[in-house]
C-alpha cells in the first residue's frame, strides 16, 4: 500500500448533524473551512436550506451560518477528509451509504461516544487512515439545525498508531477554528477513560431517568460505581491499558459533578424510544471481557436492563 498522506486542498465532509456535528460545522465554516455537511435525506436537506444554514447561539448572540450541504445519496465532490459525528450505532450504515464517493486512502476522524466502530469500518474501508477525537464542548439543539454552544471545552485528536501522528497533527491544524483542538499522543488511553465514564453514567441515568448529578442521590451508588469501574479496569488492563480503579472512579465522579445538570444522550434516546449506543459502550466492554476471559456481570446486567422494552 502506498504511504497515506493528508491533503490540505481537499474539502472536509462532515457526517452527522447532531448537536456536536452542527457545532463543529458552524465554527469550521465560520473559520473559512471548505466544509460540506452530509445529510441523510432530501427532507433534512430542505429543512437546512429553509433554515438558511445552521443557527449558532454563542454567549447570548445568534448567527446563521450558511453551510454547503449535500444529500448522502447525491454527493458532488469526492470525499478525501471525513469528520464523523454520527452516533456509534448509526456509523457503519452511514459510511456504507457514502462509500462509493470515498477516494483511495481517505482520512476518517471519529468524533463520537463508544468504541469498536473503527474496527467495523476498517473492514468496510480497509485502506482508510482512522484518527480519533474527544470533545468536552457542551452543545444542544433547540430544534433541528439550531445549536446552542452551552459550555466551552476542548477537543483532543490523535492516532492510535503513533506512526500516523504526523498526519494527525496536519489534520488538527486544518480543523482549527474558535474551538480549541490539541494533538495528543495518548488518544487510546483517553478513549478508554472516556469509555469508563460513559459506561457508568449513560446507562445508569437512562435506567433511573435522571440528570447526571442526580445519580449521587441514589442509594448504594458508590458501591455500584465501584463495581462497574472494577470490572472495567480488569478488562482494560487485560487489553494492556494500565489503568487503576482510583483513576476510573475519579474520572466518573469528576464528570458527574462537572455535568450535573446534563441529561445523557442514552437517557434522551431511551426516553424517545430510539436505539442507544449501549452496544458500543458497555457492549464493547463485555465483548472484550469475553475475549480475555474476564468476569463482567455488572456491565452485562446494565446492557440487559437498557435493552428491556419500557412500559
Residues marked active site are found at 194
- How many C-alpha atoms does 155 have within 13 Å on its Cβ side? 24
Distance from C-alpha of 25 to C-alpha of 35, rounded to nearest angstrom: 7
Task: Answer whether 292's CB lies under 8 Å from 233's CB.
Answer: no
Cβ count near 288 (within 10 Å): 18
- How many C-alpha atoms does 38 have within 13 Å on its Cβ side? 28
3-state secondary structure 25-93: HHHHHHCCCCEEEEECCHHHHHHHHHHCCEEEEECCEEEEECCEEEECCCCCCCEEEEEECCCHHHHHH
Q: Which residue has the cell 463482567?
A: 296
Residues in the chain, how many?
Answer: 311
Instruction: Look at residue 134 and give its three-state secondary structure.
Output: strand
User: C-alpha 97: how far from its chain's center?
Assistant: 19
Distance from C-alpha of 208 to C-alpha of 205, rounded to nearest angstrom: 5
Distance from C-alpha of 55 to C-alpha of 42, rounded to nearest angstrom: 19
Whole-Å CA distances, 156 to 88, 109, 162, 173, 183: 19, 11, 15, 12, 6
Amino acid at each position: 500500500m502506498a504511504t497515506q498522506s493528508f491533503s490540505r486542498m481537499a474539502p472536509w465532509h462532515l457526517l452527522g448533524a447532531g448537536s456536536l456535528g452542527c457545532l463543529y460545522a458552524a465554527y469550521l465554516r465560520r473559520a473559512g473551512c471548505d466544509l460540506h455537511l452530509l445529510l441523510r435525506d432530501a427532507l433534512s436537506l430542505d429543512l437546512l436550506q429553509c433554515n438558511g444554514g445552521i443557527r449558532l447561539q454563542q454567549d447570548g448572540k445568534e448567527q446563521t451560518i450558511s453551510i454547503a450541504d449535500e444529500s448522502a445519496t447525491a454527493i458532488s465532490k469526492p470525499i478525501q477528509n471525513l469528520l464523523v459525528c454520527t452516533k456509534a450505532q448509526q456509523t457503519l450504515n452511514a459510511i456504507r451509504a457514502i462509500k462509493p464517493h470515498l477516494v483511495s486512502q481517505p482520512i476518517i476522524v471519529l468524533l463520537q461516544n463508544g468504541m469498536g466502530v473503527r474496527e467495523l469500518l476498517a473492514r468496510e474501508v480497509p485502506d482508510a487512515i482512522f484518527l480519533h477525537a474527544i470533545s468536552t464542548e457542551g452543545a444542544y439543539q433547540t430544534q433541528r439545525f439550531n445549536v446552542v454552544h452551552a459550555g466551552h471545552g476542548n477537543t483532543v485528536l490523535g492516532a492510535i498508531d503513533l506512526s500516523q501522528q504526523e498526519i494527525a497533527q496536519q489534520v488538527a491544524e486544518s480543523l482549527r477554528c474558535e474551538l480549541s483542538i490539541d494533538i495528543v499522543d495518548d488518544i487510546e488511553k483517553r478513549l478508554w477513560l472516556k469509555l469508563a465514564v460513559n459506561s457508568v453514567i449513560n446507562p445508569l441515568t437512562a435506567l433511573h431517568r435522571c440528570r447526571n448529578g442526580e445519580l449521587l442521590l441514589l442509594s448504594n451508588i458508590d458501591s455500584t460505581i465501584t463495581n462497574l469501574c472494577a470490572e472495567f479496569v480488569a478488562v482494560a488492563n487485560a487489553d494492556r491499558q494500565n489503568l487503576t480503579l482510583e483513576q476510573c472512579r475519579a474520572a466518573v465522579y469528576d464528570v458527574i459533578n462537572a455535568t450535573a445538570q446534563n441529561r445523557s444522550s442514552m437517557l434522551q434516546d431511551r426516553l424517545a424510544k430510539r436505539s442507544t449506543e449501549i452496544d458500543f459502550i458497555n457492549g464493547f466492554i463485555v465483548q472484550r471481557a469475553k475475549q480475555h476471559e474476564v468476569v463482567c456481570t455488572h456491565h452485562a446486567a446494565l446492557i440487559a436492563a437498557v435493552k428491556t422494552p419500557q412500559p
